[in-house]
Amino acid sequence: MTEAPRPPNPALLMQLALAYRSSAVLFAAAELDVFTTLANGPLGAGDVAARCGAQTEPMRLLLEACAAEGLLSRENGGYRNTPVVDAFLVKGRPAYSANGFKYAEDLYPAWGDLASLVRSGRPPMPPETILGDDKDKTRAFVYAMHERARGIGSVLPHLIDVKGRRRLLDVGGGPGTYSVCMVEQTPGLTATVLDVPGVLDVTRELVDASGYADRVTLMPGDYLKTPFGSGYDLALLSGMMHRETPDSCRLLLRKAHAALDPGGLVIVSDVFFDDDGKTTPPFAVYFALNMMLTSAEGSAHARTEMARWMGEVGFVDVQTNELPKPNPHTLVLGTKR
Ligand SMILES: C[S@@+](CC[C@H](N)C(=O)[O-])C[C@H]1O[C@@H](n2cnc3c(N)ncnc32)[C@H](O)[C@@H]1O
């Protein structure tokens, strides 16, 4: 006798409908400074509440929720940061990245309007908001990009052939973090960061604080219109092709090709779909939606099409190189003959 099929279980739907609560727990604890408060060892809920200017019982429940999410562990009636929280969410730690994660919180209103994007095809959030129009949001965006870029930036010079290179053009370079990392690790290299003026106002602070202002120049402009100049032997286009149409990507690659000397290397670093079908990996699907929500022409491209466009504009030896996980970026590299 065959068993009757089980009726569908709504557990998946419940989990999806309530998933935002987990994000809210992380964001609230970060906003209240819980993790920095616990930096020196475990404390009970009353102490944490008092130091964070909060109420004890809701704080206790928040701390319990943090424990349930793996952000805190319980110890002697108190709460302790887990190692990942200690590394990334305690102010003053070298890998502090709370601004980077906060940017995900800033995007929640746009994600809450996902249906409106799908209906109209237009981003619910004006893209210029974080590119200079709103000073506070622009600042938060640039610092988020900076924190996100530090990890990749420190390994990039080891993943590509930068030894002996003299001039880097960092197109849509945002906080200039990659430029600073590359210059720091490559004797004799200087860099030019091209980005919109409102973003570069914040970049200035970061580059000055890095101590490399004498080797990193800022070039305000629109990368689609501003001439790139010439005489570069490295061109980096990181995390910006996903804002652009295929035609604009080809234009940017053509401009990079013209700006490079023979032997020059172009590096496109981005989140890509695996192939032209644009179905995998799931991270790229979410990322493409994220870009449609926050930019006029945004989406994610396939690494196969980026490689093809490079070939079409004249780059040779085109290769792809995935960055170590959990970094979702892949490098597509090409050389000017
Ligand atoms: C996601 S950020 C990437 C920043 C940096 N390259 C990185 O990988 O961390 C994209 C950058 O492109 C810049 N951008 C967007 N449109 C631009 C344009 N038309 N001209 C110049 N920069 C632009 C933005 O201001 C932003 O800094």
Residue-wise pLDDT for 281-313, tens only, equals: 999 999 999 999 999 999 999 999 999 999 999
Is the pLDDT at 23 greater than 70? The verdict is yes
Instruction: Please give the distance, rounded to the nearest whole angstrom, from the Cα atom of residue 172 to the centre of ligand 1.
Output: 4
CA nearest 198: which of 275, 264, 136, 110?
A: 136
Beta strand ranges found along 17-166 (DSSP E): 72-75, 78-81
Instruction: Please give the distance, rounded to the nearest whole angstrom, from the Cα atom of residue 243 to the centre of ligand 1.
Output: 8
List ligand 1's pocket residues with C-beta within 6 A. Answer: 131, 145, 149, 172-174, 195-196, 199, 222-224, 238-240, 243
What are the distances in angstroms from CA 189 to CA 186, 192, 212, 270, 337?
6, 10, 11, 23, 21
Select from 204, 225, 243, 329 the residue to mutate for testing ligand 1; criterion: most ligand atoms less than 8 Å from CB: 243
Phi, psi of 152 (to 5 degrees): -70, -40
| Sequential DSSP letters for 141-186 | HHHHHHHHHHHHHHHHHHHTT-TT--EEEEET-TT-HHHHHHHHHS
Q: Name all domains of the chain by residue range, CATH numbers in brackets.
A: 19-93 (1.10.10.10), 108-336 (3.40.50.150)
Instruction: Please give the distance, rounded to the nearest whole angstrom, from the Cα atom of residue 252 to the centre of ligand 1.
Output: 13
Instruction: Please give the distance, rounded to the nearest whole angstrom, from the Cα atom of residue 173 to the centre of ligand 1.
Output: 6
- pLDDT tens digit sequence for 105-158: 989 999 999 999 999 999 987 888 889 899 988 999 999 999 989 888 888 888
| Closest C-alpha residue for ligand 1 atom 18 | 222
Answer whether 0.85 is exceeded by the pTM. Answer: yes
Bridge partners of 335, per DSSP, are 265, 316
